[in-house]
Structure 1
């Protein structure tokens, strides 16, 4: 119950009635769902408890849809306005039938469970989660500056000053997750958002899991691999720097960032996130990934195993050393703890304190954003129409 983004086809009809020629695209108010008063609760409701609670009618918020952030085969993310708070939010809408068909109920619930634990300046937390009759809803802060991948594809190589700052912020965020017993498993540029001051926010815990210190996992396969593939190949995303569609590049980057022990089927642990960070920092510094993507995991494993990762000669000795220590094939020898970063030559003189790191805005990011035209919100309602038509099989708000 509560505020839902259901009945989207009715929402579009309401919008079209108000604006028959789409001349003025005022945001449409989201209709509430019918109260779920049956007892015992239907299985399609009880399956998703307690991670996705049923909201009471009196507690519902007034949300207005402003446009799309992303849409794909495993849910749609909408930009919404909380009328009560006057705050911009992002709400992900996932059909329950998709979760059950892809056998991802456990992972879906774990994603919410993980994000409820998180309180960190460089990691995006959860604003709330609930369920309707047919959809799951998760709410997050909305960041208008875009994501790191969009900035990278626009700018190219980053300066070492910027890389040092971003590496420190990510090291603090990843170290925090590991201390909580969480392995992210999908650390890549498009999963790193930029806030209004240009600082980083690690997000998207769809492939994350709880893994106690000393524990071992064995593979990202089956449902998890399918989720990553389907979101990448079938999805499209409106970003704030390029306004480009997603493509197979997203899957390629997922492959490129996978550690050797993941590609080989495990066992692996939290150290895989540090490998991914190394690939990410290499790309920021060199303007390209250290190796080419292959057609499958077996070929990719062979490429990773036999690649020497030639670090560009233009990089400083400290950064070159950091990349070599992160991109170590043997996970037992890989740089893996936050204190390794704190005493590393590349970070000499840098205080690993979130408040100090965030004290100044990242002018490089803000200047890049200011140099590009602002996205036109009105255009996004045309896409909204297409998406709603695809949901016309659900005649009632759910």
Structure 2
């Protein structure tokens, strides 16, 4: 278990920094749900989406947190999200299932898929569920955590619209195509790997535009395919690994896309609309894929937890370079969750203005900000 003195809480890990307002997590989640309901989402769909967005913001994953809410509202207005979706699940074989999201919220479909995969894993030891006719679901790690928090080793994959150049290419071909992997631990939240197969998430470009901060070196290119750190000029990302080793990220992106299209019939990323395309007029045929393992079937739950927790403890104990701190996957987000649970969730000023406009449009109460 992580104690407060296990980390230097003043150490700044790889989180975004920006001028912000601070809002209690519960109030922010409730507000997001109200906004979505006011635009036609059912109470259950709004709650699932609000939960996923607010939890991402609570963990410091600001690129995939509440800043996406105004975009989703635009999608609803433009017909890209079906607020009346009738989500259906079919078991197609022992250990295999399919969720038809009917063009609705990817968050609802993804929670449903993991829950159904857990049912399958309880029966057979393994559950794989493909999701088709779905939409953007926020942070993929949200759903891996959902499964691992119930004691199951959980993988999550999703494709996305083109925003990443092929290795040695000039034009967008891949989506950011994240991979998430979570394993339960003893007496603390699961260990979580949640990473795009691109150099950075595409949403980080949009966040940096809003916060007026430059991009890192060697992660993005402009319209002519030249490297840029200007988020306003950046149009595409490099695969994970950059110029020299981007074949690694491009290969992983291809793997994710195959998992999310072969079993779902979803379209290739290069044919999908961009994330910020609000004029689609109809849902996009996106795909997700989830794999859940009942790890206790191998040697029992106690040995699984012991090995996983021991490995994470040894990793954290590694000697660090000056000014650094060795962490396990997901530790920066755990640390940020500790901070934000105490001081409030950080919302950048541009996003706060958009959220306030959404509230005013529907005469909804704006959540109180903290000092």
Q: State the TM-score, normalized to the length of structure 2.
A: 0.26
- Relative contact order (C-alpha < 8 Å, sep 6+): which is higher? 2
Using structure 1 for the length normalisation, give the TM-score. 0.25
Bigger Rg, which one: 1
Higher-strand-fraction structure = 2
